[in-house]
Amino acid sequence: MKKPMRKPPSAETTDKRDADALARVHDMTEPERIRALMANARRLNVPEVYNAAFRRLVDVQSEAEPGTVAHDFWRTVHAFEQMLKEERGKTIRLTRTRQKIARVGEVRTLADFADATKETQGFEMLIARQMPELTGEAIILRHPDDFDDKTRDAAAARLSSAGVDPAQFTPA
pLDDT in tens for each of the 172 residues of the chain?
Answer: 677 777 777 888 888 989 999 999 999 999 999 999 999 999 999 999 999 999 999 999 999 999 999 999 999 999 999 999 999 999 989 999 999 999 999 999 999 999 888 888 999 999 999 999 999 999 999 999 999 999 999 999 999 999 999 999 988 7
Residue 130 belongs to some domain of the structure:
yes
Residue 53 belongs to some domain of the structure:
no
Residue 72 belongs to some domain of the structure:
no
Residue 63 belongs to some domain of the structure:
no
Count of the separate structural domains present in the chain: 1
Residue 34 belongs to some domain of the structure:
no
Domain residues for the domain of 123 are 94-172
d(CA 141, CA 152): 6
Residue 37 belongs to some domain of the structure:
no
Residue 52 belongs to some domain of the structure:
no
The amino acid that residue 35 corresponds to is R
Whole-model pTM? 0.86
Q: Which residues of 13-43 are buried (b: 16+ CB within 10 A; e: fewer)?
A: eeeeeeeebbebbeebeeeeebbebbeebee
